[in-house]
Chains A and B, each alone.
Chain A
């Protein structure tokens, strides 16, 4: 245990000491996951809101499907994206396999159902609350989507954070489609997997500690922003 704690503090020192290789890995993780969440938001929010207000046959089925997809195993997503992007796959000509873009695609597939399902829930509640007003103003259901999304924006931030959490912590999909290539597609989780397989458990654990640190920092930042936005909203009212 003595050896373990000394190794662990050495790993922490490496991290705090600003080891440039390590920080490049951290930065790439953030780039990939933030980008994936932004794309997921662009797809998931409008779709989720539309699901909340529109009425059409099969809507319930679609909602159940979206909710179920939130638990889609990442390794299956990785395999599907690999088969699409492989040179022998339908999208092989794009040469995206083993690039950060491939990892973004895999994470978008994982995160979009979360954003969609949570947006649907939030917007559906708001739509019920506002239904009288919207009707009296003569706004059609679909036309009310932008207004509802804007009013739900604080709750939607939570949906995005949930998506970010899934994206940044994920390893099964990105290791298949990214290939864990040093300096190209190596992110925090794949580094942890690699160091664990080398038996460098302390370093792996220290990297895990940064991953948690990042998650806490991002959550704190967003929570500060939403609080500020809420206060601004109140002072303008």
Chain B
């Protein structure tokens, strides 16, 4: 009786869970949460997949983790936003060549009550200084992601070191952008976020954009083929085809046509 059930179960499952995997060629792209959570990749990938017949499998993690995974050879293409870390990745021989792909921008969001009084400013450094002075709650990614690296850069340019206040007003979530926005929303904290994730975020609570438009908040994305000389299993031809498409006219046009709330949030700028 029991064995009959087991057998039926195994048969119903098609014996192996891998049977569900299609046999079409694919590449693995290590990317960041902002490109996935905003819906950009879901929007542009079908065009490439239809044209090339190559399935693009996206692993969306923070930039730091994406780069580490790519160093281990667990991906064919890297699509992230932390230029110096990307250049180091290429210089260390893990990537073939870094290409600019597109940019968007960061915005500083915070509670409507705005205890640090920074609303309407266009200077990220003075805004951060005011937050530090007011010791107003600030939620940091704290996860070595591209956004986290950018945030730390701005703190140090502002001449402040908030990490000493870690656990009091400066709160490191160690999580993705969405999870950090949830935390900020829950405790009425300020946080730095990319505009795309912000616009697609559904749980804003009391939060709103307080500071935007500072040229320092510019956020450049790059795309890199993982080096097949370092990792011979890399699907270099398919990966390169994807990069050529992204940085070519079709891909750039697809990126430009993506809208969130009627706004363009990613601006293609491949050379």
Which A residues contact B (CB, under 8 angstroms)? Answer: 28, 30-32, 34-35, 38, 86-89, 92, 95, 97-101, 104, 153, 157, 179-182, 184, 194, 196-201, 225, 229, 232
Contact = CB atoms under 8 A, between A and B. Distances in A.
Contact of A196 (B13, B14, B179, B200): B179
A198 B182 CA distance: 9
B1 A232 contact: yes
B208 interface: no
B50 interface: no
B56 to A, nearest CB: 9
B209 interface: no
B209 to A, nearest CB: 15
Given A95-B233, A181-B59, A101 B18 contact: yes
A31 B74 contact: no
Top 8 nearest A-B pairs (CB, nearest first) are A197-B178, A87-B73, A199-B203, A199-B202, A179-B59, A100-B17, A88-B72, A199-B201
A153 B2 contact: yes
Please classify how large the interface on chain B is, using the bins under 10, 10 to 19, 20 to 34, 35 or more: 35 or more
Contacts of A232: 1
Nearest to B39: A198
Contacts of B98: none
Interface string B187-220: 0000000000000111110000000000000000
Given A32-B17, A98-B74, A197-B175, 14 more contacts: A30-B13, A34-B13, A35-B16, A87-B233, A153-B2, A180-B59, A182-B58, A184-B21, A196-B182, A197-B176, A198-B178, A199-B182, A200-B202, A201-B203
Interface of B: 1-2, 5-6, 9-10, 13-14, 16-18, 20-21, 28, 33, 36-37, 42, 57-60, 69, 71-74, 175-179, 181-182, 185, 200-204, 231, 233
Please report whether the interface of chain A is mostly helix, strand, loop or mixed according to DSSP: helix
A224 B92 CA distance: 60
A87 B178 contact: no
Contacts of A88: 71-74
Nearest to A100: B17
B74 A97 contact: yes
Contact of B200 (A87, A180, A198): A198
12 contacts: A38-B9, A38-B10, A86-B69, A88-B74, A100-B17, A100-B21, A196-B178, A196-B179, A197-B37, A197-B178, A198-B37, A201-B202
Best-surrounded residue of B5, B36, B176, B202 (most CB of chain A within 10 A): B202
Contacts of A184: 21, 57
